[in-house]
């Protein structure tokens, strides 16, 4: 059975984003427009070549609204966005843990490994982090090297720095209630 997915290009302060959703409105991928080959490579690894179709179409409004809210400084706007991926059980564990890292906060690969109960697996955590198909929403940009350095980011270190700076600039202004748009579909 072929997985039918919809892909849309969305403008952002970081350039165009490629957002892939499934029929249920869950985000399957979010990557940068200039990294489209990476998106296809990760999908081939996760789902298998030819096991999915990507059809251009409009992004689900609740996902667009959440992304707009995040970039406007409402950092928790992405919390309610449902995601789905097809990683290994270990990758899925890491990706779930990434969503628990609060905005404007960073963790080292080692600390994330300890957090998931695998303290000796910091390199494996790094590899899983690097295979994350859902940038920004699954915030792999919040993971840094052991010396506090910005290391590896699929969208480039300039984007990682921008995301962290954006979150720090808005960390004190996360409203409890969002007016004008819904967080859930």
Instruction: Output the six-digit token pair for 52.
Output: 């999915």
Is this structure's pTM higher than 0.85? yes
Q: Which residues pair with 108 in a beta bridge?
A: 144
pLDDT one-digit tens code per residue, 118-167: 999 999 999 999 889 999 999 999 998 877 788 878 788 899 999 999 99
Q: Which of 78, 140, 143, 163 is catalytic?
A: 140
**CA distances (Å), 137 to each of 42, 84, 90, 132, 185, in order?**
16, 11, 19, 10, 16
Q: Please, what is the Cα angle at 125 between 114 and 22, to 5 degrees?
A: 120
Question: Does 140 qualify as catalytic in the annotation?
Answer: yes
Residues 24 and 83: beta-carbon distance below 8 Å: no
What domains appear along the chain, each with residue ranges and CATH number? 3-78 (3.30.160.70), 89-173 (1.10.10.10)
């Amino acid at each position: 059975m072929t997985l039918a997915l919809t892909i849309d290009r969305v403008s952002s302060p970081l350039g165009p984003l490629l957002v892939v959703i499934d029929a249920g409105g869950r985000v399957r991928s979010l990557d940068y427009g200039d990294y489209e080959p990476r998106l296809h490579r990760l999908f081939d690894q996760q789902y298998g070549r030819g096991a999915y179709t990507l059809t251009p179409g409009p992004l689900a409004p609740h996902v667009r609204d959440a992304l707009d809210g995040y970039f406007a400084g409402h950092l928790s706007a992405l919390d309610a966005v449902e995601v789905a991926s097809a990683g290994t059980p270990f990758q899925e564990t890491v990706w779930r843990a990434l969503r628990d890292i609060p905005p404007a906060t960073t963790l080292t690969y080692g600390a994330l490994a300890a957090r998931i109960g695998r303290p000796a697996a910091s390199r494996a955590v790094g590899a899983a982090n690097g295979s994350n198909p859902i940038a920004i929403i699954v915030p792999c940009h919040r993971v840094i090297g052991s010396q506090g350095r910005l290391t590896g980011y699929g969208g480039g270190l300039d984007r990682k720095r921008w995301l962290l700076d954006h979150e720090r600039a808005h960390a004190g202004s996360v409203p409890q209630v969002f007016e004008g748009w819904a967080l859930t579909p």
